[in-house]
Amino acid sequence: MSGPFQLPDLPYAYDALAPVISSDTVTLHHDKHHAAYYNALNGLVEGTAMAEMTLEEVVVKSGNDASLAKMFNQAGQAWNHIIYWEQMAPGGASTPSGKLAEMIDRDFGSFDEMKAQFVQTAVTTFGAGWAWLAMDGGKLELISSSNAGNPLAMGKTTLCGVDVWEHAYYLDYQNRRPDHVKAVLDSAVNWSYVGERLEDAL
């Protein structure tokens, strides 16, 4: 892949998230879909000042300029998937601790209630998009975004995101989006990683 933006390697083996997410889905999702966003983005930034920016800077700039919507679609998805892959880990912490646990209890009542609301946010995201746990003004919130949308472009802190584009789950769950989201939150997300993102932002 040529260009200023390079697809990161997966932080684990392709089969490491099975059975929550199968090796076939991870391979297709990372090597085809995620790679395609990088390839398209590199083509769009070629010869522009954005080729010298960080990916985060491109996301923020293009996400707040309607004339750059085509670029945001690629940059946003490239960045979204970095969070997506990094937040999951085989054998990761299945529950939050420390400040994250405190804030979840404060803002949602309990971890189980937060997960239930997270699933509902994902299920009611129309069409392709994402469901996010984010922080804004020191308060946790759940956000639904369409297509490549993300909290970064909204000026919020991104903590955790679940991809609800069909390519993320259809091989494994067909049309059962709620089952996919629940399984990811229960058994794939490493909540220690999410807590570290929170701590870094505080």
Distance CA 143, CA 127 (A): 15
- Whose CA is closest to 44, among 75, 22, 15, 66? 75
Distance CA 108, CA 154 (A): 21
Average pLDDT over residues 189-202: 97
Average pLDDT over residues 104-128: 97
Q: What's the start-to-end Cα distance of the chain, in Å?
A: 36
Neighbouring C-beta atoms of residue 146, cutoff 10 Å: 11
Tell me: the pLDDT tens digits for 67-107? Answer: 999 999 999 999 999 999 999 999 999 999 999 999 999 99
Q: What is the pLDDT of residue 3?
A: 86
Distance CA 115, CA 94 (A): 12
Do residues 122 and 131 touch, judged by C-beta distance below 8 A? yes
127 confidence band (pLDDT: 50, 70, 90): very high
Reported as half-sphere exposure (CB side, CA atoms, 13 A), residue 18 has a value of 12
Q: Which helix (H) or strand (E) holds 112?
A: helix 111-123
Distance CA 17, CA 20 (A): 6
pLDDT at 1 over 80: no
Distance CA 6, CA 42 (A): 9
pLDDT at 186 over 90: yes
Identify the structural domains of the chain with CATH numbers, from first to last: 23-86 (1.10.287.990), 98-201 (3.55.40.20)
Q: What is the pLDDT of residue 45?
A: 95
**DSSP code of residue 137:** T
Distance CA 34, CA 76 (A): 11
Average pLDDT over residues 22-51: 96
Three-state SS at 81: helix
Q: Which two tokens stand for residue 136?
A: 């804004």
- Whose CA is closest to 129, among 152, 145, 150, 143? 145
Q: What is the pLDDT of residue 2?
A: 76
pLDDT at 24 over 90: yes
Average pLDDT over residues 33-46: 96
Distance CA 169, CA 179 (A): 10
